[in-house]
Structure 1
Amino acid sequence: MTETPDRVLIIVPAWNEARNVGATVAEIRAASPRYDVAVIDDGSTDDTAEVARAAGATVLSLPFNLGVGGAMRTGFTYAQRHGYHRAIQVDADGQHNPADIDRVLAGLERADISIGARFADVGTYAVRGPRRWAMVFLASVVSRTAGTRLTDVTSGFRAANERAIAQYVRYYPAEYLGDTLDSLVAACHAGLSVTQVPVAMRPRSSGKPSQGAVGSTMYLLRSVFALSLAIVRRPRFIQAEEAGTTA
């Protein structure tokens, strides 16, 4: 394993983001020479991999679409194998501002996981209706699990230190919403600490969000279901560690 303690791995999960990923990679690379960019091409059927590679990213191509959870676990495994002590997810669609990466990374000075929070009095990002209700509810429940106040537990703009990277390699669910909710709750169950840093989100560079009114309502129902499962179930490795402690 090659140690790269002074560098940061920027993990960019991307599925059919050929129109956005090139500009995103270029902006990340321009933000700091310390950033190494790994684009996880999640079974794209367009030119995502070629565009990302041309922009200067390392590209890890999955044979078929696994979803954000599968892509991120691939990214964290790459980070661990190459000796990165810090890694952070940045979405390919341009909503996460690379200028805020250092701000989110700074949260790792006091916690294992640092979330770039959209609803912390910075920026004009707004969500209304069922999706907003779901986010408020989820934040309140996960805040109790984490033992700290969190306002945006579904944000994908989050950083991990070496402990968190190892945790995510062991357990990073791929199912819908599990990549944000279940992974965060499981990390808390494993004893990792969480903090948040206020950031401003930007609109997508190109394309449209996938959810309308019906999709937002389904988001609410799926969110509650996903969180319920995350809280009541503990990954097997955590159960084994607890059993070993009490034996």
Structure 2
Amino acid sequence: MVDSASVAILIPVYNEKKTIKNIIQRCRHYSKNIIVVDDGSTDDTLSEIDSNFVVLMQNKINLGKGASLLKGFKYIVSCSFSGVITLDADGQHDPADLSKFFELITKTPESIIIGARTLNTRSAPWKRWLANKAADAFVSLVVRKKLQDTQSGFRYYPARFLATLDSKNITNRFAFETEILIKAVHSGFLINYIEICSCYPKESRHSYYQPIRDSIAILNSIRRSIFYKKLSSRKSIDNQAK
């Protein structure tokens, strides 16, 4: 059984001065192990983060969400945490749902857990909802397994999975989470879910999400994942032949 104190919370942030302080405060009710990675924010986000209560890491320039998550993952593995829960800083993920994560983590500590936005779905912008459903269909087709809410960034990853990630073969940008989910399934990790609300708070900043651009990025990430899986299979066959 995993001790909740051994699970960290990772928050990637970029220009979220209106919400980051509240998100951190609410997360502290569930864990004192909070890592925040600032991705070169140009507003007053940093002034809202008290480094006495979190481990603050920074990218000098904006490198993308994937790069921020990878930086946090490397730190988490180096500190021997048993796993990490990731959530966004813009208020779309309710820290109150962390209790659901911890409850399931104690039962399946070596699985990937996704916070699936199946509650209050009417609040989601229709373009985003449609793009997410399309992504779910494509990713499920690739891994030959039905997956839910593949675009949700509210997730738990066991450290054993984080240690397998190779930054050279993964995008640093929006589609990062899609790629590593595909990798997790191909690597045999179990995927579990908790139900969470679909939240789009008015106080959060305007989303950088662009359905057409980001859907193309997701398709490219799927194509890249297929390529590396085939490449890995060929290497395995070659090694066996030797």
TM-score under structure 2 length normalisation:
0.83
Residue 183 of structure 2 is aligned with which of 171, 186, 211? 186
Aligned residues: 236
Identify which range, 171-180 or 92-101, moves more after superposition: 171-180
Q: Compared with structure 1, are the counterparts of its residues 82 and 216 closer, same or farther at alpha carbon in structure 2 (3 Å cutoff)?
A: same
Deviations 1:51-83, CA, capped at 9 Å, x for gaps: 212572210112211111000001111111111
SS in 2 for 1:83: coil
- Which SS does the other structure have where 2:152 is aligned? coil
Structure 2 counterpart of 1:44: 41
What is the RMSD computed on CA atoms of the aligned residues?
2.8
C-alpha distance 97-233 of structure 1, shift in aligned 2 (>3 A): same
**2: distance between equivalents of 1:95 and 1:159?**
16
- Residues 11-45 of structure 1, C-alpha deviations (whole Å, 9 max, x = no match): 00011222221111011112x2x341110011122
Return the letter of the residue paired with 2:5: D
Q: Do 1:177 and 1:226's aligned partners in 2 also have CA atoms closer than 8 Å?
A: no
Q: Aligned match of 1:92 in 89, 92, 116?
A: 89
Identity %: 24
Residue 206 of structure 1 is matched in structure 2 by 204
| Counterpart among 80, 83, 106 of residue 80 in structure 2 | 83
Please list every run of 5 or more consecutive structure 2 residues that lacks an aligned counterpart in the other structure: none
Deviation string, structure 1 residues 77-106 (Cα, Å, up to 9, x no partner): 111111100101111111111111132344
- Aligned-partner Cα distance in 2 for 1:151–1:99: 21
> Secondary structure of 1:65's partner?
coil
Structure 1: gaps (5+ residues): none
CA offset digits 1:91-132 (Å, max 9, x no partner): 1111111111132344443452111111x3x22342423x43
**Distance change >3 Å, CA 144–CA 45, structure 1 → 2:** same
- Tell whether the 8 Å contact from 1:69 to 1:172 is kept in structure 2 after alignment: no
1:163 to 157, 160, 163: 160
Identify the residue that residue 14 of structure 2 maps to in structure 1. 15
Of the structure 1 ranges 91-100 and 196-205, higher mean CA displacement relative to structure 2 is found in 196-205
2:5 alignment partner in structure 1: 6
DSSP-derived class of the 2:5 partner:
coil
Question: Equivalences for 1:64-143 in 2 at 5 Å?
Answer: 64-108=61-105, 109-110=107-108, 112-118=111-117, 120=118, 122-124=119-121, 125-129=123-127, 131-143=128-140
Deviates more, 1:89-98 or 1:39-48: 39-48
Higher mean C-alpha deviation, range 146-155 or range 68-77:
146-155
Residues 58, 173 of structure 1: CA spacing in aligned structure 2 closer, same or farther, 3 A cutoff?
same
Q: Which deviates more from structure 2 when the two are superposed, residues 42-51 or residues 11-20?
A: 42-51
TM-score (norm 1): 0.81
What one-letter code is carried by the residue in structure 1 that aligns with 2:225? A
> Bigger shift: 149-158 or 43-52?
43-52
Give 2:25's aligned residue: 26
Residue from 190, 209, 218 that aligns with 2:213 = 218
Secondary structure at the aligned position of 2:34 is classed as strand
Counterpart-to-counterpart distance in 1, 2:236 and 2:9:
30
**SS across alignment from 1:91:** coil
